[in-house]
Amino acid sequence: MTDPTAIQPSELDQLPDRDPEETAEWQASLDAVTKAAGPHRAAYLMRRTLERAEGNGLALPKLLETDYVNTIPTSAEPVVDGDEEMERKITAWNRWNAAAMVTRGSKYGVGGHIATFASAAWLYETGFNHFFKGKEADGSGDQLYIQGHASPGIYARAFLDGRLSEQHLDRFRQESGGNGLPSYPHPRRLPWLWEFPTVSMGLGPLSAIYQARFNRYLTNRGIKDVSQSHVWAFLGDGEMDEPESTAALALASREGLDNLTFVINCNLQRLDGPVRANFKIVQELEAQFRGAGWNVVKTLWGTAWDELFRLDTTGALVRRLRQVPDAQVQTYQTRDAAYIRQDFFGSDPALVEMAKLLSDDKILECFHLSRGGHEARKVYAAYRAALAHKGAPTVILAQTVKGHTLGEGFASKNANHQMKKLTVDEFKKMRDVLELPISDSQFIDGQVPYGHPGADAPEVRYLQDRRAALGGPAPARRTHALAPLPAAPDKAFASFDKGSGSQNVATTMAFVRLVKDLVRDKETGRRWVPIVPDEARTFGMESLFPSLGIYSPKGQTYEPVDRDQLMYYKEAKDGQILNEGITEAGSMADFIAASTAYSTHGEAMIPFYIFYSMFGWQRTADQMWQLGDQLGRGFLVGATAGRTTLTGEGLQHADGHSPVIAATNPAALSYDPAFAYEIATIVKDGLRRMYGEAAPGEDQNVFYYLTVYNEPMPQPAKPAGLGIDEGILKGLYRFNTAESAGLSPVANAARIQLIGSGTAIHWTLKAQQLLAEEWGVAADVWSATSWTELRRDALEADAALLRGEERVPFVRQALHGAEGPVLAVSDYMRQVPDQIAQWVEQDYSSLGADGFGLSDTREAARRHFGVDAESIVVAALAQLARRGEVKASAVKEARERYGL
């Protein structure tokens, strides 16, 4: 067994040493320093030597972790461009009102969070006062991803600058009556203020990276120059445990996104306790971000610590700070000076001597109050450094105390995330700490008052002047008065009405062909944003590579291996396709950024994201909810859809339930089209609704989910007659009758209505033929393009009836007068077609692919799930037999004939 303490071979052992004697001298020098001055001095010299080497351009591995001190020393901090005392007063008002709002709301039991903003106040206030560009300046302003639990502080600032009233604050988390404030950043609930929903942990940082990347995409493609926009993402140190938080760090570094800054509030606490009780989260994050290629700025200690660092002539203080685990730092926050002297300083003789020079007040000031994240100068210096750094994104690790200024009952307590209010006495102590002019008489009937210095007060004028200089209020969301995009030529859609003749075409291929035609349109073609997670060839999209190009900020720095082929792999700085590699989460973040560009940048973009249907809603449904909250628009396309169409791939690839999940999202219009002309009709109407002339009462802020299949099948011509397009868009229309299909059942034959969706329509059509030819049963076939839209329409009709309005659900209108029972068939679980069951007047039954998927041929899989044509025939006969319309023996005979 290898001795872990022994010196292990390294890559240097494989390199020839051209001067072993010189190498030995360097090693001897290091040994001598270690022996004479100690290992810490030797380590210090090595670090400085490596820094010099890096500064001289020598290719050496980067140091992933530095000492537990500020990156920017006090002596190097820039002068703050503003009135620090005035900003202190503004921040005090905002701290007060944030706590007051949550406390006043607690009497209604609606909850809220106080401690997060209390710790992060200066991280936000410094940005608002000096850095965050508003939407009213040139360009698009900055994009701010606000930490969800800090929302009370943002509302408090909006109250101070006159954008919110006391009545608004008093309706925090009480939205149903109007004029309420949502709990967290929810653009759909407060669309003039919030731009990005962030409270679903991990999605904020992931989206921020792809937003910064999409900003570069817009600039490089010549859509809009947004090079002056900066993305700021405010995160919690506990949030960084989410895999999504760090999933795209390498992308941000690889593409040099210096238009992006993460600000991580390191208050060392999760919801239940320390983030890294026995370790140090700041050091862990520093190593993680440095290793990913980010610029790291640590802002840990306030100016009170300067005296301690000056006294640290041996490095003992720095060593001790590096040793103490986070949970112990949290404990120091709550203990007296005697405890800190013994536990922190008593561990090293040099520190014992240092502590003798420090008063108890000084020790308490340092360990209880003085953190880098609580001082405007420290935060200002960090932000300036972030904006000055070029070639890589920056992360600022700002240490704070959770519950700062809220009193001893809050600060650094494990339970403070769940503590929703302060007592009157605690508020009075807070008032004194913040030096606010609020009298005891303003506490009426035990109710804490809101505080405001007056609309013309110096604090308010200063705040508003600072925001005016930076381009207007922030955060803010804008809905631009964009002209509707021109409609694409009808011929792009009409060509699908003719069908494919004798050629078999998968609906996936039909969709891709449609997109190829649409992106060629001179008016709107450049606004399409094709997004694919490394499966473009699976979906037949490789022909788009040379014509549209794959986006890369570096262009193509190599000669592609397939350069001599027609459909070669072409990357370009102005490429249109976002080929993200194997990351559905990253692709969804792309989609969200593109789908909301109409608001963020005033540019309507048309994203379509095509993916294995199984790896869409099941894997990234949380982001699709985020997309709905952010009011995104575009087309999600679940390819290789269905449980039985993807031959051989097996259980984890066989999607039988994505429409069920999609149905839970109110912003998703979910369609399962069977034929190419249905796809064309749906896409055409989607472009009209989301980007063109929406009808009165239509919500434009929706997105479409289309399932398409990889099974090549005949694509019929679009049926003639009125109401076909309406049926396609509303979810149901009659494709044919037994008679129009050329089938001649016997006179007075039993009749049944067969409804199929997606690829199941083809088995249904075969069953129609078998029923007529072998059993003398007449079957009409219907195409259900959207079970979900049918259900939503029916639910709206039910609600209208309760209001005294007469309204009949569309599904009932469509099926009115249809003879016989109804049998619905889907390649998804039965729960999908059963969404409409209660509104169908006829006897209703369904077939679907319930259970886990499996590897086999399509035919075998369909027989296994009982959804093939023969199984449909047996189910139809059984339904008719129960009604006495066919002999009961026919069911048994059919089972035996078909081997079921």
Question: CA nearest 675: which of 735, 587, 752, 740?
Answer: 735
Query: Tokens 């996104």 map to which residue?
Result: 257
Contact at 8 Å (CB) between 673 and 709? no
Look up residue 89 and give its amino acid: K
Cβ burial of 52 (10 Å; 0-12, 13-18, 19+) is: exposed
- What is the spatial distance between Cα 735 and Cα 189, in angstroms, rounded to a whole number? 41
The helix/strand/coil state of 669 is: strand
Which two three-digit tokens encode residue 717?
Answer: 């011509």
Q: Provide the phi-psi class of 666: left if phi over 0, else alpha when psi is between -120 and 50, else beta.
A: alpha
Other C-beta atoms within 10 Å of 597: how many? 28
Other C-beta atoms within 10 Å of 875: how many? 23
DSSP line for 627-643: HHHTT--EEEEEES-SS
Which two three-digit tokens encode residue 852?
Answer: 């886990």
Cβ burial of 624 (10 Å; 0-12, 13-18, 19+) is: buried
Contacts from 221-227 at CB under 8 Å and sequence distance 24+? 221/526, 221/551, 221/574, 221/575, 221/576, 222/574, 223/526, 223/527, 223/603, 223/605, 224/140, 224/601, 224/602, 224/603, 225/139, 226/139, 226/140, 226/601, 227/259
The helix/strand/coil state of 646 is: coil
E strands within 596-665? 606-612, 634-639
Does 856 carry a binding-site annotation?
no
Which two three-digit tokens encode residue 239?
Answer: 């949030």
Stated length of the chain: 900
- What is the spatial distance between Cα 235 and Cα 79, in angstroms, rounded to a whole number? 26
- What is the spatial distance between Cα 326 and Cα 336, in angstroms, rounded to a whole number? 18
Beta strand pairing call for 778-783 and 733-736 = antiparallel
Query: Tokens 């600060």 map to which residue?
Result: 411
Strand ordering across the sheet containing 822-825: 733-736, 778-783, 751-756, 822-825, 844-847
Partner residues linked to 769 by β-bridges? none
Query: Tokens 């302060």 map to which residue?
Result: 422
Which two three-digit tokens encode residue 260?
Answer: 């992006």
Does 336 carry a binding-site annotation?
no
- What is the spatial distance between Cα 164 and Cα 157, in angstroms, rounded to a whole number? 9
Cα distance between the two ends of the chain: 61
Q: How far is CA 532 from CA 212, 476, 519, 625, in A?
A: 19, 31, 16, 20
The helix/strand/coil state of 208 is: helix
Question: CA nearest 155: which of 130, 106, 131, 190?
Answer: 190
- What is the spatial distance between Cα 262 and Cα 289, in angstroms, rounded to a whole number? 10
SS (H, E, C) 333-379: CCCCHHHHHHHCHHHCHHHHHHHHCCCHHHHHHHHHHCEHHHCHHHH
Handedness of CA 171, 175, 177, 179 (dihedral sign): positive
Does 94 carry a binding-site annotation?
no
Question: Distance of alpha carbon 853 from its chain centroid, rounded?
Answer: 29
The helix/strand/coil state of 28 is: helix
Question: Distance of alpha carbon 162 from its chain centroid, rounded?
Answer: 31
Look up residue 751 and give its amino acid: R
Helix (H) / strand (E) containing 356: helix 349-356
Contact at 8 Å (CB) between 109 and 462? no
Residues of the binding site for Mg(2+): 237, 267, 269
Residues of the binding site: 237, 267, 269
